[in-house]
Amino acid sequence: MKAIVIDTPGAEDVLKIGDVPPPPIGPEDLRIRVRATSVNRADLLQRQGFYPPPAGASEIIGLECAGEVVEVGAAVSGWRVGERAMALLPGGGYAEEAVVHHGSALRVPPTLTFEEAGAFCEVFLTAFLNLFMLGEVKPGEAALVHGGGSGVGTAAISLLREAGARSLVTAGSDAKCRRCRDHGADVAINYRGGDFSTAVREATGGRGVDVILDSIGAKYLTANIDCLAPDGRLVIIGLIGGAKEEINLALLLTRRLRVIGSTLRTRSAASKAEIVASFLQRFGDALAAGRLRPVIDRVLPLEQAAEAHRVVQSSAHFGKVVLRV
């Protein structure tokens, strides 16, 4: 089958189309003929050699896909050949075929195209896991999401709106802030314009937010703590801004704050199946009705994976960059 291969980690041009054997299928797996996948920040890190796949996972880049089921493992029930599926992958998305544990797959509703479905799972399940399962956002609460114009950010805005929670986001330009508000964010803050924590306090009447979804890490830690309301939860999912920083632990005690670290890719198949099932229970009707869909910035052919990585690296996009296979 055709797939994007990497001989040596490096810049975008190391991404080349090559021929590789189809992935083997296990008894609890589905084989999907991939029609679309999309680019996530983790893909850029893996391309550079900084984020290897979990043990046993495909070495091929790609954390999600959508297509048709072409083979069903012997121990799988409830799926049949020909069904449209979208899936969360530990790797292997940039290819003509992908194999995934059936618990990590969702049926593609008629409301989504393959391109939309190929950009759905990683960002919506990431946002759901960290805001709702770990962050325990409740209706009427307020959540701050850094990177509101990213794939995870736009998915988070959609989920928070659907759940009846207030969304505050940061973005890197006034234009992106406008687009975040157009997408449904209640408040959008240009982080290049000054201290975002002051803006968050002003937007919440001095109270702060109940949950923060943060992909920056150390650079934002102190300001994030300052933004949290009593009993607030900070969920850290990335370290773009560094991994080490000092904080005043007394603030955690006196305001009863929680700091939670989270990753999705390395979780077990059972854990991912639980996340998928919980997502469908909470938001399955909204997905089926077409109220949840990823924001697509552009669609490029798989052969242009290098260009897709350049776009995401530059942060010139809003939402997801999709690769059509």
Task: Write the pLDDT tens digit of every residue in 91-120.
Answer: 999 999 999 999 999 999 999 999 999 999
Averaged pLDDT, 291-304: 98
Q: Assign 289 a pLDDT band (cuts: 50, 70, 90).
A: very high
Averaged pLDDT, 79-84: 98
H or E stretch at 26: none
| Predicted confidence (pLDDT) at residue 194 exceeds the cutoff of 90 | no
pTM flag (> 0.95): yes
Residue 257's SS3 state is coil
pLDDT at 14: 98
Average pLDDT, the chain: 97
| Predicted confidence (pLDDT) at residue 193 exceeds the cutoff of 90 | no
DSSP 262-305: --STTS-HHHHHHHHHHHHHHHHHHHHTT---PPEEEEEEGGGH
Q: Assign 54 a pLDDT band (cuts: 50, 70, 90).
A: very high
Nearest CA to 144 out of 252, 253, 236, 26 is that of 236
Nearest CA to 174 out of 197, 186, 190 is that of 190
| Predicted confidence (pLDDT) at residue 127 exceeds the cutoff of 90 | yes
